[in-house]
Amino acid sequence: MSSFLSMKMPILLVLPVLLASLLACQPDTVLNNPYTDADSQQTVLYQSFSERPKHLDPAMAYSENEYAFIAQIYEPPLQYHYLKRPYQIIPLTSTNLPEVVYRDDKGQALPSDAEPARIAFTDYIITLQPGIRYQPHAALAKTEQGGYRYHHLDAQAIAPLKTLNDFASTGTRELLAEDYVYQIKRLAHPKNQSPIAEIMKNYIVGFADFAKQAKDLPKTAIKGMSLAGAVAVNDHQYRIRINGKYPQFIYWLAMPFFSPMPWEAEVFYNQLGLSDKNITLDWYPIGTGAYYLAENNPNRRMILQKNPYYHPETYPSEGEPEDRANGLLKDAGKTLPFIDKVVFTLEKETIPYWTKFLQGYYDASGIASDNFDQAIQFTGTGGLALTESMQAKGIQLQTAVQTSSFYLGFNMLDPLLGGTTEAARKLRQAIAIAIDEEEFIAIFMNGRGVAAQGVLPPGIFGFAEGQPGINPTVYDWQADKAQRKDIEVAKQLMAEAGYTNGIDPKTHGPLIVYFDTTATSVEDKPRMTWYRKQFEKLGIQLVIRATDYNRFQEKMRAGNAQIFAWGWNADYPDPENFFFLLYGPNGKVKYGGENAGNYQNPAFDRLFEQMRNMDNTPERYQIIQQMQAIVRQDAPWLFGLHPKQFSLFHSWFGNLKANLMANNELKYRRIDTAARADKRQQWNRPVVWPLLLAGVLLVLLILPAYQAYRKRTQQTLS
């Protein structure tokens, strides 16, 4: 020990000093780069994900975080135009938009303006572009004799495999119409548990019967089975037949559910033993899209690589008028995609995620509440802008109101707040006025939201701007903006409903209402307190009934909730996708539908039935306004807010335009890698002087101890 103290300790102390000196001599060294140098040879985009996707099978995936991956890989026949607004459907793998043929109950073709009542079926005839090829994949690898190389693997061949990349050979083949038909059959097979299977039973002809037939058969058996509503006409054309008229079906054709699936993939992945290695179709997609999944480790990193066989597709040459000025048409006509590789890293915590963004190691970021003040400041006019530190880094801010609606729902089956009586309606209206959504947005969302005036969010056909679009039950139009009505108006409504000053005439005490929620954590407490205070304005006592998710869902299904918070994110940009949430036959308690508040109004239902099958015409617009007026008056929802998405992008990130409908936007994006490398170098220079300081301090601390020890050991006994 004494030799240790006398010899090794000074060496150890000198080490940090040496290291620091070494680093100080190399100012260009970047030590904190989390990526490998090999990436600098390619155009790589770095993104993160906070939750691993549950499914990557297009028959099953339905979440935003799953679409972030599979929408780059799988290609349905249609897609949304990247730049044009309102959102416009355009061909992706098809040559044109589908040919739509209406047919009567005898199968005879009808004119395009036929009465909806006469239309028994609608045919969507889709013609594919020839020559589109799948990504390189082991399922398509063939032997020299022409057989599939990996379709008959034995246990010995499977044993050494760890990932799909361990297969030595890959192959490709042309995309065929049969692949789209095969995928529709997969949607119907109960073993695939597609979340849209139950909806499609109502639309695609023969879908329900097919599901019954396939129920006990293996997944691969569907290849030889026929589905009346989905037929391949030839190699490049297929037809989908749906019941009646359902114009919104075209939007479904732009969703990954309707992507092609080669039968070879299912045969390959269903071999015994591969699932034990997590080599499944749910985890290793096979598509024709701009990218393929080159690495799949959902607990660490997912890597998309440019598909070498990607079919010719070019950047749009048209957009909104301001797109040219914003530089969004500079790449018009150029071949997609621009980025070679996309690295998604799992980042669960906000602190390292935000730090990496500021260091330039992530190219884009959202803004968590903790970092909001660091990123955004309020301008003198009440608007929001980037802070000076963000501006100094050249960071770009992009905002967009999401096509989502969050609301407080009233259970219309509840004896107090529900029903169509005048008293209940006035009580709901009073509560709607009292709960100050603008304040909620300011306090709890840092201003990132827009108070809702009705069912529809901005950007959806039927949404009215300005005075015609306000909710007259809750707002007045004053000084060119919607102004929430005075609380006295709400109190007056309470009095008219029979609850003067919030007193319940039956109990002679304050009226008690119940708010059912899953907000059980400590972080939710301020929000719940805020709600209580809003109700107190009317003298109402709000009781928070916070339960876990399962119990809450049970209450909702049984109709035992009174007031609840709910939300809806658009599947597609059509008003039908929002108004169906209030359609009577979709009631949750009676029919198990998505109408969580169990609202039922015959006049509204009639208008909905009329509106849902219409094209976007002025007549449809008028009907939508009538429907809005009915629900504003009935107040089955307390229209809450439409969240506003704030995204930050570094200066080297190009072709940025928020598209809330398209999920395949990565192929349009561009990265200036040279500018990024410069900035990273500039922002991540190692700071070494604290190491030197720490070394000196350590010496100063240890020296007295060392001296004391020496003194003690050399001391003579007296």
Partner 1 sequence: MIAYIIRRALYAVPLLIGVNILTFVLFFIVNSPDDMARLQLGQKHVTEQAITNWKQQHGYDLPLLWNDQAQSGQQLTETIFYQKSVGLFWFHFGISDSGRNISADIRERAWPSLAVALPSLAVGLWVDIAFALLMVLFRNTYLEFGGLVICVILMSVSSLFYIIGGQFIIAKLMCLVPISGYEEGFAAIKFLLLPVAIGVFAGIGSGVRWYRTLFLEEASKDYVRTARAKGLTETQVLFRHVLKNAMIPILTGVVVVLPTLFMGSLIMESFFSIPGLGSYTIDAINNQDFAIVRAMVFLGSVLYVFGLLLTDISYTLVDPRVRLS
Q: Which residues pair with 587 in a beta bridge?
A: 595
Q: Based on the number of CB atoms within 10 Å of its own CB, is 638 exposed (0-12), middle (13-18) or buried (19 or more)?
A: buried
- Cβ atoms < 10 Å from Cβ of 281: 25
Closest CB to partner 1 among 485 and 612?
Answer: 612
Q: CB of residue 156 vs partner 1: minimum separation in angstroms?
A: 18
Cα–Cα dist 424/657, whole Å: 45
Examine residue 366 and tell whether it contacts partner 1 (CB under 8 A): no
For 208, the token pair is 């329900």
Least separation in angstroms between residue 597's CB and partner 1 is 16
Indicate which single residue of 14, 233, 693, 708 sits in contact with partner 1 (rule: CB under 8 A). Answer: 708
Considering only residues 62, 148, 309, 372, which one is a binding residue for partner 1 as defined by CB under 8 A? Answer: 62
Radius of gyration of the chain (CA): 31
- How far is the C-alpha of 687 from the C-alpha of 665, rounded, in Å? 38
State in angstroms the smallest separation of the CB of 502 from partner 1: 34
550 vs 256: CA distance, rounded Å: 29
* Nearest-approach distance from CB 141 to partner 1, in angstroms: 23
Indicate which single residue of 49, 148, 621, 709 sits in contact with partner 1 (rule: CB under 8 A): 709
Among positions 43, 54, 374, 625, the unique one binding partner 1 when judged by CB under 8 A: 54
By the rule CB under 8 A, 713 interacts with partner 1: yes
Which of 92, 126, 176, 197 forms a contact with partner 1 (CB under 8 A)?
197
CA–CA separation, 103 vs 98, rounded Å? 15
Pairwise CA distance, residues 284 & 298, whole Å: 11
Tokens 């990349």 found at = 165
Nearer to partner 1, 352 or 539 (CB): 352
3-class secondary structure per residue, 645-672: EEEEECCCEECCCCCCCCCCHHHHCEEC
Q: Judged by CB, which is closer to partner 1: 132, or 214? A: 214
**Which of 106/712 has CB closer to partner 1?**
712
Distance CA(540)–CA(398), nearest Å, equals 40
* Short-list 91, 90, 92, 72, CA closest to 290: 72
From 82-90, 141-149, 171-179, 346-354, span contacting partner 1 (CB under 8 A): 346-354
Distance CA 207, CA 391 (A): 54
Residues 6+ apart with CB under 8 A from 153: 271, 273, 274
Find the length of the chain.
Answer: 718
**Min separation Cβ 540 and partner 1, Å:** 29
Mark the segment that binds partner 1 (CB under 8 A) among 168-176, 344-352, 428-436, 449-457.
Answer: 344-352
Strands (E), 134-258: 230-234, 237-243
Instruction: Tell me: does residue 687 bind partner 1 (CB under 8 A).
Output: yes
Residue located via tokens 């029979």: 498
Q: Is 198 in the site for partner 1 (CB under 8 A)?
A: yes
Q: Binding string to partner 1 for residues 529 to 548, with x set by CB under 8 A, is what?
A: -------------------x
Helix 9-25 vs helix 689-714: angle between axes, to the nearest 10 degrees?
Answer: 170
Q: How far is the CB of 708 from partner 1 (least distance, A)?
A: 7
**Measured from the CB atom, is 199 or 221 closer to partner 1?**
199
Nearer to partner 1, 32 or 633 (CB): 32
Contacting residue, 39, 55, 142, 303, with partner 1 by CB under 8 A:
55
Site for partner 1 in 240-299 (CB under 8 A): 275-278, 280, 282-283, 297, 299
Residue of 541, 684, 692, 698 interacting with partner 1 (CB under 8 A): 684
What gap in Å lies between CA 472 and CA 494, rounded to an integer? 17
C-beta closer to partner 1: residue 508 or 711: 711
| Spatial separation of the C-alpha atoms in residues 487 and 148, rounded to whole Å | 73
Q: Binders of partner 1 among 590-649, rule CB under 8 A? A: 592, 594
Residue 11's Cβ-count burial label (10 Å; 0-12, 13-18, 19+) is exposed
Nearer to partner 1, 261 or 623 (CB): 261
DSSP one-letter code for 244: S
166 binds partner 1 (CB under 8 A): no
Asked if residue 89 binds partner 1 (CB under 8 A), the reply is no
- Residue 520: name the closest of 566, 555, 542, 551 by CA: 551
Interface with partner 1 includes 112 (CB under 8 A)? no
In the complex, the smallest distance separating the C-beta of residue 534 from partner 1, rounded to whole angstroms, is: 26
Query: To 10 degrees, what angle do helices 422-434 and 525-536 make?
Result: 120
- What's the closest the beta carbon of residue 511 comes to partner 1, in angstroms? 32
Among 195, 244, 458, 498, binds partner 1 (CB under 8 A): 195
The residue from 43, 220, 243, 355 that contacts partner 1 (CB under 8 A) is: 355
CA 148 – CA 168 distance, rounded (Å): 13
d(CA 648, CA 360): 12
Residues near partner 1 (CB under 8 A), total: 62
Out of 300, 481, 606, 710, the only residue in the binding site for partner 1 (CB under 8 A) is: 300
Residue 5: CB minimum distance to partner 1, A? 8
Span from 108-116, 306-314, 353-361, 448-456 in contact with partner 1 (CB under 8 A): 353-361
**Selected range binding partner 1 among 306-314, 323-331, 343-351, 385-393, rule: CB under 8 A:** 343-351
- Give dist(CA 456, CA 403) in Å, integer: 8
Alpha-carbon span 177 to 179, nearest angstrom: 5
Q: What is the DSSP letter of 8?
A: I
Applying CB under 8 A, which of residues 550, 714, 716, 718 lies at the interface with partner 1?
Answer: 550
Cα three-residue angle 140-146-152, rounded to 5 degrees? 60
> Which is nearer to partner 1, 132 or 293 (by Cβ)?
293
31 in contact with partner 1 (CB under 8 A): yes
DSSP 444-493: HSTT-EEE-SSSPPTTSTT---TGGGS-TTTEEEETTEEEEPPHHHHHHH
Complex with partner 1: residue 146 or 704, whichever CB lies closer: 704
Stretch that binds partner 1, among 9-17, 126-134, 168-176, 687-695 (CB under 8 A): 687-695
As a whole number of angstroms, the distance between CA 344 and CA 358 comes to 17
CA 313 – CA 297 distance, rounded (Å): 29
| Shortest distance (Å) from residue 520 CB to partner 1 | 13
Tell me if 685 contacts partner 1 by CB under 8 A: yes
Q: Which of 142, 191, 527, 555 binds partner 1 (CB under 8 A)?
A: 191
Of 468 and 704, the one with the shorter C-beta distance to partner 1 is: 704
Strand spans (E) along 479-597 = 481-484, 503-504, 509-510, 512-517, 541-546, 563-569
Residues that bind partner 1 (CB under 8 A): 1-2, 30-34, 36, 54-55, 62-63, 190-191, 193, 195-199, 275-278, 280, 282-283, 297, 299-301, 345-349, 351-352, 355-356, 359, 361, 548-550, 553, 571, 592, 594, 684-688, 690-691, 704-705, 708-709, 712-713
